[in-house]
Amino acid sequence: MNPKKQFESYFLTFDSGARLEVMQKVEIPNNQHDRYMQAIGLAHFALSVGSKEKVDSLTHQLQADGYEIVSAPRWTGDGYYESVVFDPEKNQIELTI
């Protein structure tokens, strides 16, 4: 739980190593499904690419290819290194270590 952002999440871990994060945030129902805000339903896909350098290089390559960068590579408050880009349909794709 992050009281400042009123955000909480839980991870479900599968035997294969895949993880599913279930999240909730207080203001989500009030944003009318704005793609630039959080949404009800699927919020984003996250892909682990293996290293900080790979997150950086893939993010720069996607930007050079014309994809919109939502969040440049950075360390998050909960200790993840990630970037977020929009795919052509404005789904958020998170690249992480």
Coil vs helix vs strand at 63: helix
Q: Structure pTM?
A: 0.69
The residues near 93 (Cβ < 8 Å, ≥ 6 apart) are 44, 45, 46, 47, 84, 85, 86, 87
For residue 76, is pLDDT > 70?
yes
Tell whether the model's pLDDT for residue 77 goes beyond 90.
no
Structure confidence at residue 42 as a pLDDT band (50, 70, 90)? confident
DSSP string, 11-35: EEE-TTS-EEEEEEETTGGGSTT-T
Look at residue 32 in the predicted model and tell me its pLDDT. Answer: 66
CA distances from 57 to 41, 54, 60, 61, 83 (A): 29, 5, 5, 6, 11
